[in-house]
Amino acid sequence: MTTSGAPVQEGSGLTSTEAARRLDRDGENVVPRAAPRSLVGRVARQLADPMIVLLCGAFVVVLALGDRVDAAIISAVVVLNAAIGVVQEMRAEHAIAVLDELASPQARVRRDGRLVELPAARLVVGDQVRLEAGDVVPADLVLTEAVALEVDEAAMTGESVPVRRDTGEEVLSGTVVTRGRAFAEVVRTGAESGLGRIAALIAATGLRPTPLQRRLSRLSRQLVVITAALAGLVLVLAVLRGAALADSLILAVSLAVAAIPESLPAVVSVALALGALRMSRRSAIVRWLPAVETLGSVSVLASDKTGTLTEGRMTVRRTWTVEGWCDVEGPAYGRGGTVRGDTAQGAAVARLMRDVVLCNDARITADGDSWSGIGDPLEVALLVAAARLDENLLGVAGEWRRVGETPFDSESRSMVTVHQRGTGERLEVVKGAPEVVLELVAASHEAEQAKAEAHAMASEGYRVLAVVDVPDGGPARLAGLVGVIDPPRDDAAAVVSACRAAGIRPLLITGDHAETALAVARQVGIAGPDSEVADGEVVARGDHVARVDHIDVYARTHPEQKVDIIDAWQARGQVVAMTGDGVNDAPALRRADIGVAMGGRGTEVARQAADLVLADDDLRTVVTAVAEGRRIYANIRTFLRYALSGGLAEVLVILLAPFVGIATPLLPGQILWINMLTHGVPGVAFGGEPLDPELMRRPSPSPERSVLGGGLVGRILVGGALIGAVSIAAGLLARAMSWHTTTVVFLTLGLAQLALALALRAPRSTRRLGERALEVSVAVAVALQVLAATWSPLQDLLGTRSLEPRAWAAVLLLAVLPGAVVAVAARRRRRGAAQPASSPGSGAKPGWK
């Protein structure tokens, strides 16, 4: 809390009595949590979903008709969907709860005139806290005394390097002291602290329904209206033809059940579960199943910089001496790597590396193929660079003993160390900001050249250090410049390129400097020569909204501003994914349509707020996840095409057959049997269909477009009409040939739908059994359909009769026709789509198959 109390006694801190009074008034220094919703309330919210209501209605109908198999499937799907929704709702509470774990468990505080250690939860406004290197800041503090204090604020602000903090400045709860020491006064605790505000922002950030949920919700409402109208029409027509009202009602309800693809949620659930399983094998942990599908609809990918696009570790990449440039290669803390440059530079570079080892307070130790560092990350990077030139350089501190030093501070912006050899020879080394250090050699002709080179390095996003040494009794000499950067990850550019190829717009959102952010964005391909950069102030004023299509890089942003950026894109109908790893990314991860957190370097808060966690921090997995999402969405559309085509065919047969002289083309039990076979196992098998490579060469459809958009309605009408036509034709042929008409129509209608399923298969790249589930399920369904007309118990149950061989031949010939027509049309369409793609300069066609 921020309210003030009794004045603090200088040097002694609060008294225990006063601290207890403030604690009672303001509460403990903990992140607030919202009161949890009851389980009954959570379940009730899920059951109010339109698709769940539709399923419940279908459950009542099929149960009333005695179809216990379909009833069991539907009830299982309802339970599964409700459970998924409850888990989704609980994610926010978990994200807030993890903030408690991030908070410092203990703090050193002045109480009653002495320094004591107590739980951070007991801190109150006015307490005086002691900070040292390695401490987690326990509350929001104002520094009253600071000695060479540096704080790692990456988790809160996105800064890639520790920040210098001096007396009178604030440090935020949850940040980490990397260097120096300080005393500070508590100014905000609990909900008012930095962590508390982020917790409140996470709690206030509502969850948006996924694109698939929105599409299926619209579809469910449409199906309810259409199905009710068709069932009513069938009921009226049956009564007008003289059928009994009870029989007509049973027929209408049976047709309604057949027209509703009640196995759709099962298909969705299976597709999502299989997608999550495949993702887990690629080290991607799906925390919420619909997140897999959502990735397939992503049109904007907003990425954090530090630790996401970059390695999250400071690394020396370039050096400059009067002899020229050198490039430093190798992983951030890896023992491998080299320093490449003209061999004539060897002595000059060795001297520069010697100086940065001497003027350095960090330490590194070998740990297998990498280095472990202790101290300021920038100084650790300098030692690693020296080791890449020659690991023996790390031992120069033993040869040159330090006899004097002036620590780095914000005023001098430099660090000075004095060293002495056993022979008595002395050496002074100065490193720091070029504009300060180069003044020591301003009289030399190299100084102006060094300033120009330093400016060029800074414009490329490097943090530049200048190094000067002063030999015993001699003038100051320029040793050179060192360019330090948090380098882009090796796979970042490939990921950005893959996203662009898939029609996804990449963005960079960071709390770092604009120059650094733009340099990284250009290196990985997010930004081009004319790309716009906006800072947090622009976002705070709302000026970014009108220019959102033109801005590729956002710098100096706060957590709430990242949320505003995502909101601006979502307001334009875009599906936004956000990647991040810090506490400051958590609200944006929650607000985005899908949040992707880094599992290795990422904070637990970010992981809990995200939908997808990359366990190995491999950005390529994002592209894999997008492919999985598109695969799932395409499979769901394919199932809808298959199921609704069959449902339409059944409606057409019931409606039109009486007008051509077939009074009773199907019995209610036969309709339900066909529905169970075609929508059951074969329908669910569509959820496991393999990826069509064409899906990653075109942009995803708008989330506002119907799941039946993109020409799918027309293809459903064609498929339904073909199946309906051959079924009625079979009935007419049966009547002419004196075959049992109902059995012929029943067999033709069911087998034609199964043939269509085979025609709609996705392209196969292998012959693995795992990709043959659809064929196997269709074969099983065909066997059961044939059994229904040949096995006497099923014949008695369904009202079918045995047929002669000529009738079977006619049924099979007519049943394969719709599937054959659809398969030929699909092959021609695929060839036509591939034709322009092979010509120079052509692009991928938008949309979905």
CB 488 within 8 A of CB 520: yes
Per-residue DSSP letters for 666-705?
A: --HHHHHHHHHHHHSHHHHHGGGPPPPGGGGGSPPPPTTS
Which of 26, 49, 140, 304 is labelled catalytic?
A: 304
Instruction: Let me know if 369 is a catalytic residue.
Output: no
DSSP line for 178-243: EEEEEEEEEEE-GGGSHHHHHHHHHHHSPPPPPHHHHHHHHHHHHHHHHHHHHHHHHHHHHHHTT-
Q: How far apart are CA 817 and CA 87, in angstroms?
A: 46
- Token output for 271: 């597709």
Give the three-state DSSP class for 300. strand
Q: Name which of 734, 754, 724 is nearest 650 in CA terms.
A: 724
Q: Which of 284, 286, 260 is nearest to 271 (CA)?
A: 286
Q: Which residue type is seen at 483?
A: G
Environment class of residue 783 by beta-carbon count within 10 Å: exposed (0-12), middle (13-18) or buried (19+)? exposed
Q: Do the strands 284-286 and 612-614 form a parallel or antiparallel pair, or are they unpaired?
A: antiparallel
415 phi/psi in degrees, rounded to 5: -125, 140
Number of C-beta neighbours around residue 233 at 10 A: 15
What's the CA gap between 104 and 31, in Å, rounded? 12
Q: Which residues contact 219 (CB under 8 A, 6 or more apart)?
A: 640, 706, 707, 708
Q: How far apart are CA 814 and CA 752, in angstroms?
A: 8
Size of the chain, expressed as the number of residues it contains: 849
Residue 240, burial from CB neighbour count under 10 angstroms (0-12, 13-18, 19+): exposed
For residue 830, with 0-12 CB atoms within 10 Å meaning exposed, 13-18 middle and 19 or more buried, which class applies? middle
Q: Which residue has the tokens 């501070």?
A: 409
What is the CB neighbour count within 10 angstroms for residue 4? 11
Q: What angle (nearest 5°) sits at the alpha carbon of residue 153, between those of residues 194 and 605? A: 60
Work out the end-to-end distance of the chain between its first and last CA atoms, rounded to an integer number of angstroms.
57
Q: How far apart are CA 146 and CA 184, in angstroms?
A: 8
Nearest to 577 by CA among 560, 597, 595: 595
Largest CA distance in the chain: 120
Q: How far is CA 17 from CA 13, 110, 112, 253, 295, in A?
A: 12, 13, 9, 76, 55
- Residue 271 exposed, middle or buried by CB count within 10 Å (0-12, 13-18, 19+): buried
Just list the catalytic residues. Answer: 304
